[in-house]
Structure 1
Amino acid sequence: MKRQAQAVVLMLLGGAVLRTSLTDAYLRYVKEGLRPFLIAAGVALVAIAVATLYYELRERRAAHAHEHPEPKVSWLLLAPVVGLLLVAPGALGAYAADSTGTALGAWEEESDYPPLPDGDPAEIPVLDYASRAIFDEGRSIEGRRVRLTGFISRADDGTVFLTRMILSCCAADARPIKVGIEGAGTDGYADDTWVAVVGTYSPTMVRDPINNERIPFIAAETLEPVGAPVKEYE
């Protein structure tokens, strides 16, 4: 591929990175704090592309006529860039969660839990509820109504989970946090449906068949569909 074409690919790639990072779409792929680095990378790619085109076009000579043309297959490099510009893949959902063990064991060192936020029910993350239910044995949430938001996923035996994916850095290392739902009916809710569950602590616990980590449950009073949040990862 000639240098002019390489510069065009770089510019398109930089534009795709900037388009993603200047909207909320970047939250589907990386943690919120990485946004400035994405913007800087996109600007750098565009700047390099512009500089390359400038110097290449300035130095073009008639001698270029004897150069061999680039192989046409090299233009296929544009396919993923154009795809990212035109179609933004969604965040990971039930399919990824159903094939991956719960990541709760990574937080086992947690021991001190602050009081729940005010309000009835108290709005808390799925990870916070799961950690308190397993490692604090529910002491810091017992007797309080809580509200959790996540998407529906299922085990092979039909157990229904409220699930939220968590990131260490980016979507490549995303892993699920699962909370079993008992009490409220879950019939009619397909996988990947985002729901809000209001309920209380349940001592029920099962083992994830994928990695044998513990999965807590919530005694659900109500379960209602909601729209996917802007930040789909916790």
Structure 2
Amino acid sequence: MRRETQNVLLVLLGGALVKISWDGTYLRYVRPSLLPLLLGAGLVIVAIGVIAIVFDIWGHRSEPAQTTGSNDVDGEPDRRARAASAEVVTQDASTGALVADSATGVSAASSGASASTRPEPTASGGAATSGEHAEEHAHRGRSSWMLMLPVLAILMIAPPALGSDSVQRAGDRSVVSERPPSSGLFGPLPEGEIPEMQITDVVMRTVWDAGGALEGRRISVTGFLVREEASGDSGAAVHVARIRIMCCAADALPVKLRLTSDGAPAAALDTIAVDGWMQVVGEVVPGSATEANGNVPEFLVSEVTPIEAPADQYEY
């Protein structure tokens, strides 16, 4: 890959990072606290690319004009010099004597083999051929072009935040790892008659909080709808879910509540498409989150309200 192309790719890559930082789409990929680092990295990459381009342009302009040949119109002295050099090399090679090419500074042995034509050794002890060198350069070129993939993905495709597909592919992975010895890890519930809680907090309290703070309490959660088809011993299920990340989308874990409803709430759920966002009010069934069901609590729904997707769709 040409140096000029590499510099342009740097500018595009840094520009893509600045763009997603500016318009807020970075929240689809990393947590909000990483915004300064992401924006700073983008600006630095853009600056490096721009500086390299400026230096290249300045270097090309400052190069003195290169001239070939001599003052003679027909270039006869140059041709004579080249012919004389060729004659010396030919004559010495035929005598088998040790020679030095004044043009290249390369010595040849009495066998007539020139050191300039010897194959370069490789790491394995063999000789590197011109084909191997060409293949190595081709690999380097392809790896450089790989920089275009994130640029095209961000500028043209803009991958959405993780949703129901990630929840279903996660299987039994859960934020619940082990039960703590006491319930002292949890503070009081948020204020209000119907406190609004994160699904992560609801799951952890249902599994770990021995104090039963959620028993008999109506709470409100916000998430997207996930429908799971019947498989094996498990029947079809409807969940409200969120994706929880620690750093970025690469370490995402799903958290969800299994919804149980009838009447008007059930009818409202039927009108919401998969990945549609909603606010759900209801009560957690005590003891419903077990290892057998992947620590997914059952949630008795009393109200369902469709909403627009929030700007920040993850929990932390």
- TM-score class, shorter-chain normalisation, is 0.7 to 0.9
Aligned-residue identity in percent: 35
**CA deviation map 1:23-53 (0-9, x unaligned):** 3211100011111110110011001101111
**CA deviation map 1:61-118 (0-9, x unaligned):** 577xxxxxx9897767535413312331110000110111342314744832211111
Cα RMSD of the aligned pairs, angstroms, is: 2.5
Structure 1: runs of 5 or more not aligned? 64-69
The answer to whether the Cα contact below 8 Å between 2:13 and 2:150 also exists between their aligned partners in 1 is no
| Distance in 2 of aligned mates of 1:141 and 1:80 | 44
The answer to whether the Cα contact below 8 Å between 1:102 and 1:215 also exists between their aligned partners in 2 is no
Letter in 1 for 2:246: S
Letter in 1 for 2:249: A
Corresponding residue for residue 87 of structure 1: 157
| Distance in 2 of aligned mates of 1:108 and 1:3 | 56
TM-score (normalised: structure 2): 0.65
Letter in 2 for 1:25: T
Corresponding residue for residue 209 of structure 2: 136
Instruction: Report whether the alignment pairs 1:119 with 2:189.
Output: no
Q: How many residues align?
A: 226
Decide whether aligned partners of structure 1 residues 27 and 156 sit closer, same or farther in structure 2, where only a CA change above 3 A counts.
Answer: same
| Distance in 2 of aligned mates of 1:31 and 1:208 | 29
| Distance in 2 of aligned mates of 1:141 and 1:127 | 13
- Asked which structure has the greater RCO (Cα within 8 Å, sep 6+), the reply is 1
Of the structure 1 ranges 182-191 and 167-176, higher mean CA displacement relative to structure 2 is found in: 182-191
Instruction: Report whether the alignment pairs 1:224 with 2:305.
Output: yes
Letter in 2 for 1:197: V
Answer 1 or 2: which has greater strand percent. Answer: 1
TM-score (normalised: structure 1): 0.86
Corresponding residue for residue 179 of structure 1: 257
SS of 2:298's equivalent?
strand
| Distance in 1 of aligned mates of 2:174 and 2:148 | 36
Corresponding residue for residue 161 of structure 1: 239
Query: Shift in Å at residue 155 of structure 1?
Result: 2.9
Letter in 2 for 1:214: N
Corresponding residue for residue 176 of structure 2: 105
The answer to whether the Cα contact below 8 Å between 2:7 and 2:50 also exists between their aligned partners in 1 is yes
Corresponding residue for residue 66 of structure 1: none
The answer to whether the Cα contact below 8 Å between 1:102 and 1:177 also exists between their aligned partners in 2 is no
Letter in 2 for 1:153: V
Corresponding residue for residue 222 of structure 2: 149
Decide whether aligned partners of structure 1 residues 8 and 208 sit closer, same or farther in structure 2, where only a CA change above 3 A counts.
Answer: farther
**Greater CA radius of gyration, 1 or 2?**
2
Counterpart among 274, 283, 288 of residue 191 in structure 1:
274
Structure 2: runs of 5 or more not aligned? 67-136, 231-235
Query: Shift in Å at residue 206 of structure 1?
Result: 5.6
Of the structure 1 ranges 173-182 and 73-82, higher mean CA displacement relative to structure 2 is found in: 73-82
The answer to whether the Cα contact below 8 Å between 2:13 and 2:147 also exists between their aligned partners in 1 is no
